[in-house]
Structure 1
Amino acid sequence: MRIIVGPAKRVGNSIAIFDEGLLNGNITKNGLAGVTFSVDAGGLYPKTRYRDGAKYRYAITLSAEDLTLLGQCVAGAP
């Protein structure tokens, strides 16, 4: 999985903050609520003064409907 972060409202550079495969430890099933995956990745600010080498935990929760939509996209459905 690759996570790329860039400016939303202006032209600027993007930076890859995560570029690894997901492991079972990254994924948590939330019952009927869906799935959460979390990764430890670098910070969002590419400027040197903000880059202290710290890692941050990012978590994204997908509902059952989100997962269905992703499955349809992978299968080629519009």
Structure 2
Amino acid sequence: MGAPDERLGVLVVVLVTLNPTHRGMVQEAGAVEAELMELARKHLPPFAIPVMILLYDGDFQRSPEGKVIKAPFRRIAAEE
């Protein structure tokens, strides 16, 4: 997913949903995001490292074809 950027066009944004058995259990969202960012820095090339990681504590809305509907998350990423 991406967030609009005037200079680069689009910035990498990662949207993560929790396993249903762990929903509502994350106390420190910032710590989870920091750990995921550290993993990204270790394993991804610089251009693919996200500028933002969003944790979503729910199910993704899906189209009839089964694809995730990204529009609501793009709006959230643009506001952040």
Whether TM-score is above 0.5 comes out as no
| TM-score normalised according to structure 2 size | 0.24
More strand by share: 1
| TM-score normalised according to structure 1 size | 0.24
More helix by share: 2
- Select the structure of larger CA radius of gyration: 1
